[in-house]
Structure 1
Amino acid sequence: MTARPSLSVRQAADILGIAETASITEIRSRYRTLAKEWHPDVSGNGTDDTHDTMVRLNEAYEILIRYCLQYPISFRPEDLVQAPDSEPMDRWMERYGDDPIWGPFRSPPDRPR
């Protein structure tokens, strides 16, 4: 039986100072920065404070990495981000081309004067 983490994913993100979105690379970088600051071997703070903070940082990091690695990623074509080399107008038309308001621009009919 695995122990349930004492932190939620949002609480773990707050501990590491992670905003609403972050990549695994950004999470790792933030963790390493904080670990260098708080690790008992390098920190000038009291050992009890640094030890407790490091335990909390480790727990938060583990929760976030586990969440990211277990998060289901969709590979459906409609969910994938368009390639950066595709034309913006093509992406617009693909998404809104059939819409009567946002679709292709049509000239208004000729009006009698």
Structure 2
Amino acid sequence: MSKFDTINRARKTLGLPECASMGHIKANYRELLYRWHPDRCPQDPQKAAEMTRQITEAYKTLMDYCNNYKYCFSEQTVKRHRSPGELWMERFGDDPVWGKKDKNS
């Protein structure tokens, strides 16, 4: 199995979209682990234990990938990942109609 296949499988196990923040990864992991914890599924402890193992393995796979991912801090890359609000302010921030209103006026 290729590295992409392994990561993609882990992503799907945690119910994540193709793009997710670290917070989203952790939240889904906690939610799934809570749902499938063997103490919460007494009717089928073997399935709960297997799901817990899969969820934990998927989380470790994604954390390993994320912790070893090289981040680029160049101006071009940072600009490419601006939020919609930052993009709006950059384009229209000084515009008298669309920009921020001066509270002193």
Match of 1:28 among 26, 29, 32: 26
Change (3 A) 1:21 1:55: same
> Partner of 2:90 in structure 1?
87
Secondary structure in 1 matching 2:72: coil
Q: What corresponds to 2:70 in structure 1?
A: 72
Give per-residue Cα distances to partners, 1:56-88, cap 9 Å, x unaligned.
000000111111111111011111134727422
Asked whether 1:50 is paired with 2:53, we answer: no
Unaligned runs of 5+ in 1: 91-113
Looking at structure 2, the residues matched to 47 and 40 of structure 1 have their Cα atoms a distance apart, in angstroms, of: 5
| Number of corresponding residues | 85
What is the TM-score normalised by the length of structure 1?
0.67
Aligned residue identity for 1:87: E
SS in 1 for 2:78: coil
Question: 1:59, 1:38 → 2: CA distance?
Answer: 14
Unaligned runs of 5+ in 2: 94-105
Instruction: Find the counterpart in structure 1 of residue 97 from structure 2.
Output: none
Q: Secondary structure at the match of 1:71?
A: coil
User: Which structure has the larger Rg?
Assistant: 1
Report the alpha carbon displacement of residue 89 of structure 1 after superposing the two structures with TM: 5.7
Percent identity between the two aligned chains:
27
Q: Provide, for residues 29-78 of structure 1, a one-character-per-residue CA deviation record: whole Å limited to 9, x for no partner.
A: 00110011101012244111000110000000011111111111101111
Distance 2:16 2:35 in 1: 16
Moved over 6 A (4+): none
Could you state the TM-score of these two structures normalised by the residue count of structure 2? 0.71
